[in-house]
Copies of this chain bind each other. A is one copy, B any other.
Amino acid sequence: MRDVAIIGVGQTSVGEHWDRSLRDLAVEAIASARQDAGVDRVDVLFVGNMLSGELAGQENLATCVADAAGLLPIEALKIEAACASGGAALRAAFLTVASGAHDFALAVGVEKMTDILTDGVTSSLALAADADYEAAHGLTFAALNALLMRRYMHEHRARHEDFAPFSVNAHRNAAVNPRAMYRQPITVADFVRSPVVADPINILDSAGICDGAAALLVCPATEARRARRAPVRITGSACATDTLGLAERRDPLLWQAVADSSRLACEQARLKPKDMDLFEPHDAFTIVSVLTLEASGFADRGSALKLAAEGRLAREGDIPICTLGGLKGRGHPVGASGAYQLVETVLQLRGEAGPAQVKGASIGMAQSVGGSGSVAVTHILQV
């Protein structure tokens, strides 16, 4: 396998883009990534997306984006792995370049969740759960995560407000990210009194519904000097799966797909979680940050809340997470979020994260999770 590097990144602002379509967003992110790299060539496009069929009435999405972005007649495929689709698109780009089949591969994650065809997005998001055994019975994603959070609070004698530092940290970091959706800092008091969505999960436990697109251009490490920017190497890339339904797991608080994909990515990079200068977790709900930190080996079982309480997850801490706001603060355009996490990791490793910069960051991990921990895609990036 050839070594692969990221040579360009681009992103739209995240928010409610009522005046812009799915393809408008993808085109902006792609143009921005190509300009960032200063390389004209693109041989193949992978589009990470979960809900274009349901929400925009558009499948054949990769062709749609390739056409709109002026990339015809290149190969173009859509990759779907629920909320991990954006990370999975980079993985497909990585594999294609590693194989030698293509040299310049573009991965774009895009999702348009406002101005949609359906009555509301909650039922569409449930497409990532088990249609027959979960969604059909009315279980939403907030409800599934509420079950997990309640169980975690029971097993580890935690209070709901113990989860506040995750949300406070995400909002603090988003406040200095010009692309983020929620740029207002919040306090623990705000967190505690925010309205309940699915008890015990409240609004400030939950990432917001929004639109956005983010893109990354990759090429063989040997070609990366052609780019304008310093290359960021992909030294670990892995995907693993767990049961689709939450009820099928022996231990619902052990997210095995997350554990497996982290372990595989670390083995490839010959690194351990403690070597990471930052970690971008899939913080769709605060409980997800907790479970992924524990499954990935950043914290022992039952100890992630303590890490947060001690401030170790802040940008000045030893395990900075959600450094540009995470899904909670930047926003969570589901099929695009994985690509945002990777773009933000690249900005950190290049030293271009502005006031959100993690000092001296040279190794970062970005991780996307689909369903209730049923699929995980983990990448390790290094300069």
Interface residues of A in 327-383 (CB under 8 A from B): 370-371, 374-375
Q: Is A174 among interface residues, defined by CB-CB distance under 8 A? A: no
Stretch at the interface among A94-102, A179-187, A188-196, A312-320: A94-102
Q: Is A197 among interface residues, defined by CB-CB distance under 8 A? A: no
B64→A244 contact, CB < 8 A: yes
Q: Is A275 among interface residues, defined by CB-CB distance under 8 A? A: no
Q: Is A58 among interface residues, defined by CB-CB distance under 8 A? A: yes
B98→A81 contact, CB < 8 A: no
Number of identical monomers bound together in the oligomeric complex: 2
Given contacts A240-B74, A242-B73, contact A375 B63 (CB under 8 A): yes
B81→A243 contact, CB < 8 A: no
Contacts of A53 in B (CB 8 A): 51, 53-54, 127
A58 to chain B, nearest CB (A): 4
Q: Is A92 among interface residues, defined by CB-CB distance under 8 A? A: yes
Interface residues of A in 20-66 (CB under 8 A from B): 21, 50-51, 53-54, 56-64, 66
Given contacts A73-B241, A79-B79, A241-B74, contact A370 B57 (CB under 8 A): no
Contacts of A72 in B (CB 8 A): 241-243
Task: Report the Cα distance A375→B45, complex, angstroms.
Answer: 12
* Contact pick for A244, options B60, B135, B240, CB 8 Å: B60
B80→A81 contact, CB < 8 A: no
Chain B residue at smallest Cβ distance from A76: B241
Contacts of A98 in B (CB 8 A): 99-101
Contacts of A63 in B (CB 8 A): 81-82, 241-242, 244, 370-371, 374-375
Contacts of A210 in B (CB 8 A): none
Shortest beta-carbon contacts, A-B, top 10: A99-B99, A60-B82, A75-B239, A59-B127, A58-B131, A78-B80, A57-B131, A60-B128, A63-B375, A98-B99
